[in-house]
Amino acid sequence: MPYKEMTNSAIRQPLRRLLANLMQNLRNGSEERTIKTKAGHIRYQEFYPAESKPILDEIDRVLAAHYGFTDEELDFIPSAKLRTGINYDIKYRMGRDAESEEK
């Protein structure tokens, strides 16, 4: 995907805020774990990005605006939890559009 410099402050500022929120949300939702190995104890921090899905979806929306994606293209951007686009499961796997057309 080609790189497009982000010069528009109307996009850059919200993205900075969202990224700061994401980092804080990831830290707040993480857990410190310790495991025992042959080499000794290892302490690490475990993160759960699926819990940050609403923030990740909003970041996707801001980046989609920056790159000029259509709403349909945005639907196919992989999300953190489902590995499918933001609305992909609802619209395409569950047939929401098909049901609404039949009614």
Any idea which of 60-64, 72-76, 80-84 has the lowest mean pLDDT? 80-84
Residues 54-65 pLDDT 10s: 998 899 889 888
CB 99 within 8 A of CB 90: no
CB 45 within 8 A of CB 31: yes
> Is the pTM here over 0.75, yes or no?
no
pLDDT for the residue numbered 76: 75
* Domain layout of the chain by residue ranges: 9-102
Residues 35-51 pLDDT 10s: 999 999 999 999 998 89
pLDDT for the residue numbered 85: 56
